[in-house]
């Protein structure tokens, strides 16, 4: 039987180290938040620059947290739907809070202007919040209950999603 | 195969030993720019995250920014040349376009 040489041992060590390094490099981003997770608290500057928006400000309400961008096609479809949903439920019980991830804030401002949405939009050009929430696609929305727990994650937006959203919001709003 | 691995390992070990003792200072000077490039290169396989697409999501950034124009050009090409262009799949070659 041949005795393994030290060089052979070094080669094995080298290949193990390379495999380990590759695993580390390929490690994905932080896991996406799931239903049942507590929504992380945050504060971000409003898109119009007027104030700082935080999730804590809407404590006690059902919150629909929507990540959007001006370059995202389905986001454009979702804006009027979200505005309609906002108007359908009492303001003291339901709140839509949007987070814009455009790097160029001015583009986002121009984009949202014609939609005349009545809900606040925060700006996060550095993309810190989508990283924290681990959003899988654009847009992604989180329906958060009165206790700050995520009750529904809605990746993407297609026509016909409004009905399901409405029913989920209603059940949370009506729940005591 | 095993011998090749052995040579590689031996070479790396000799290089490390030489550099640590200063014996291969000339060699190190010669290859240091290359080593710098290797060590300072961002080797991480960075993926564009969904919220980072931004200008990459623009139509002009697509491989085929104008599919309609591409289709028209392709149609003109195969009509004139009686052959499919490079981007097309192989066909029957009947020449009956």
Is the pTM higher than 0.80? The answer reads no
Residues B7-48: tens digit of each pLDDT: 767 767 765 655 555 544 555 566 666 666 666 666 666 789
Predicted local distance difference test score (pLDDT) of residue A60:
94
In terms of Cβ atoms closer than 10 Å to its own Cβ (0-12, 13-18, 19+), residue A145 is middle
CA distance to partner chain A, nearest, from residue B22 (Å)? 22
Residues B42-95: tens digit of each pLDDT: 666 678 999 999 988 888 888 888 888 888 888 888 788 777 665 555 555 565
Q: Which of B8, B13, B51 is facing A101, going by the closest CB pair?
A: B51
> Which residue's structure tokens are 């994650």?
A153
Whether B36 has its CB under 8 Å from any CB of chain A: the answer is no
Predicted local distance difference test score (pLDDT) of residue B77:
82
* Cα distance between residue A161 and residue A64, in whole Å: 14
Please report residues of B whose CB lies closer than 8 A to that of A11.
5-6, 8-9
- Within A2-147, residue ranges assigned H as helices are 6-26, 73-88, 105-112, 128-133
Least CA distance to A70: which residue of chain B?
A: B54
Residues A19-77: tens digit of each pLDDT: 444 433 434 445 789 999 999 999 999 999 889 999 999 999 999 999 999 999 999 99
User: Are A138 and B51 contacting, i.e. CB atoms less than 8 angstroms apart?
Assistant: yes
* Cα distance between residue A31 and residue A35, in whole Å: 13
Least CA distance to A73: which residue of chain B?
A: B57
The two tokens of residue A155 are: 């990746």
Smallest CA-to-CA distance from A162 within A85, A55, A95 is with A85
Q: How many pairs of residues across A and B have Cβ atoms under 8 Å apart?
A: 54
* Cα distance between residue A46 and residue A33, in whole Å: 23
């Amino acid at each position: 039987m041949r005795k393994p040489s030290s060089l052979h041992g070094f080669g094995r060590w080298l290949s193990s180290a390379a495999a380990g390094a590759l695993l580390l490099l390929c490690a994905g981003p932080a896991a996406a938040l799931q239903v049942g997770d507590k929504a992380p608290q945050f504060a971000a500057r409003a898109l119009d620059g007027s104030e700082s928006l935080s999730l804590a400000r809407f404590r006690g309400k059902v919150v629909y947290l929507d990540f959007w961008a001006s370059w995202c096609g389905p986001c454009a479809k979702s804006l009027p739907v979200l505005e309609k949903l906002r108007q359908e439920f009492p303001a003291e019980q339901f709140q839509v809070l949007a987070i814009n991830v455009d790097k160029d804030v001015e583009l986002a401002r121009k984009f949202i202007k014609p939609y005349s949405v009545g809900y606040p939009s925060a700006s996060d050009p550095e993309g810190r919040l989508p990283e924290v929430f681990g959003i899988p696609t654009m847009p992604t929305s989180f329906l958060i209950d009165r206790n700050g727990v995520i009750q529904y994650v809605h990746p993407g937006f297609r026509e016909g999603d409004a009905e399901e959203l409405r029913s989920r919001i209603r059940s949370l709003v009506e729940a005591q | 195969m095993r011998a090749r691995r052995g040579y590689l390992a031996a070479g790396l070990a000799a290089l490390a030993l030489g550099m640590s003792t200063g014996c291969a200072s000339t060699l190190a000077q010669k290859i240091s720019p290359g080593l710098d490039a290797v060590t300072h290169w961002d080797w991480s396989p960075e993926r564009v995250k969904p919220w980072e697409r931004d200008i990459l999501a623009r139509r002009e950034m697509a491989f085929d920014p104008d599919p309609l124009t591409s289709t028209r050009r392709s149609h003109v090409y195969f009509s004139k040349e009686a052959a499919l262009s490079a981007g097309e799949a192989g066909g029957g070659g009947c020449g009956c376009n």
